[in-house]
Amino acid sequence: MEQQTSYKYFAFISYNSRDIDWGKRVQKKLEQYRMPATLCKEHGWERKPIKPIFFAPTDIQPGGLTAELQERLKAARHLIVICSPNSAKSQWVAKEIEFFHSLGRSSNIHFFIVAGEPHSGNLDTECFNPVVEKLGLPEILGANVNEKVYRWPWLNRERAYVQLITKLLGIEFDSIWQRHKRQLVYNIVMWTVSLLAVLLLLLLAWQANQPRDVEVTVNDSFVNSELPSADNVIVTLELENEERIDTIPDLGHPVMFKNIPAKFFNENAHISVRCGSYLATDTIVVLEEKLNVSISRDPAVFGDVHFYVKDKFGEAVVPGVEVEIAGIKAVSAADGLVEFKIPLEKQRRSYAISSSAALMADTLYMPCSRDTSIRLK
């Protein structure tokens, strides 16, 4: 066998212009094919031993067997013929085969069938150029991309490529085909995994950009069961220039703000809560799908005690009267006003009143104001 290094090209591809796409595929497949490392070590090859391949469109335009084209054929170790009904009728393909044969390299002519049938006897379907029979080239079927060995056409094409590679390198077909199939399976698995990963990322990105609902739960920061629960709680969510408002009947029911754009999540948002006997609450939160906001009672509503002690007719104020409410003692001032604060934990809706003087009422109902008065008997 002649040494590959004595030739400028590993192979010359002969084809008809109508089969140019197949010619390009074969050139790319051969030049990029990576051989198993063990075979490369055994034969002293590079991992990509089949290069360079001469393919006319990348160098010169074929137009006949010019001196230049003849030099290209002489410089090629192998001749690969793209076989189809197109090339079977091509006089230029015939001339290239004939010239290469004249160089004494008939055993280095390889046929790659992309269409048609070998020896069909029909000019419309025959894939071998008549010059093959004329020159008496060895009977050969060549690598056929349409051979139905497997149910999948793409796998049959891969098999044909490997057939051609083994013929060019003079090695057994099975020596690389089984490995090639395993590599194909591995590539398919990796491609599938990668595709699924991309689809998953796209799905996650799509989901992440979908509008979502925000559930806001309002909690009482200090629970006093003796006081009335919150009702008609007004919750406001502010997002940039948008304001959403909803009302919940009591603290046991969360408020739901629907279809909040995804861009607002994990960003700061302003929430305010208003409720009759509670302090107004304004807070900045990082927007999430579930939020908890605490509100505090206004200690003045049920804790600020102020009333006047008046005579039994309710006309004149009475100073100096001692009273006791929720364990807190006080004395009416010069203007008859009793005023003090009851801590939140002791607050009630009403308080029992005791006094050193006889009073007409023994209960003070809250909330009370400066218009409230307690009369002596």
CATH class given for the domain over 4-171:
alpha beta
Query: Residue 116 and residue 139: Cα distance in Å, rounded?
Result: 17
* Cβ atoms < 10 Å from Cβ of 257: 21
Predicted TM-score (pTM) of the model is: 0.58
Task: Residue count of the chain, please give it.
Answer: 377
Q: What does each C-alpha distance from 297 to 51, 188, 346, 347 come to in angstroms?
A: 85, 65, 13, 11
pLDDT by residue, tens only, the chain of 377 residues: 344 448 999 999 999 999 999 999 999 999 998 888 888 888 888 888 888 999 876 544 555 578 888 999 999 999 999 999 999 999 989 999 999 999 999 999 999 999 999 888 898 999 999 999 899 887 666 899 998 988 889 999 999 999 999 999 988 888 888 888 888 888 889 999 999 999 999 998 888 889 999 999 999 999 898 999 888 999 999 988 889 999 998 888 899 999 999 999 999 999 999 998 999 999 999 999 999 999 999 999 999 999 999 999 999 999 999 999 999 999 999 999 999 999 999 999 999 999 989 999 999 999 998 889 999 98
Instruction: Give the contacts of 184 (CB within 8 A, at least 6 positions apart).
Output: 155, 158
**DSSP assignment letter at 333:** -
- CA 13 from centroid of its chain's CA atoms: 44
Instruction: Please give the pLDDT value at position 49.
Output: 87
Q: Which segments of the chain belong to CATH 3.40.50.10140?
A: 4-171
Q: Which segments of the chain belong to CATH 2.60.40.10?
A: 212-297, 300-375
Cβ distance 347 to 227 under 8 Å?
yes
Strand partners, 337: 308
Instruction: Please give the pLDDT value at position 15.
Output: 93
Task: Quote the CATH superfamily of domain 300-375.
Answer: Immunoglobulins (2.60.40.10)
Cβ distance 217 to 207 under 8 Å?
no
Task: Calculate the CA dihedral of residues 36, 38, 43, 47 and round it to 10 degrees.
Answer: 40
CATH number of the domain at 212-297, out of 3.40.50.150, 3.30.390.30, 3.60.15.10, 2.60.40.10?
2.60.40.10
Is the previous residue joined to 52 through a cis bond, with omega within 30 degrees of 0?
yes
Hey, is 126 helix, strand or coil?
Answer: strand
Strand partners, 281: 273
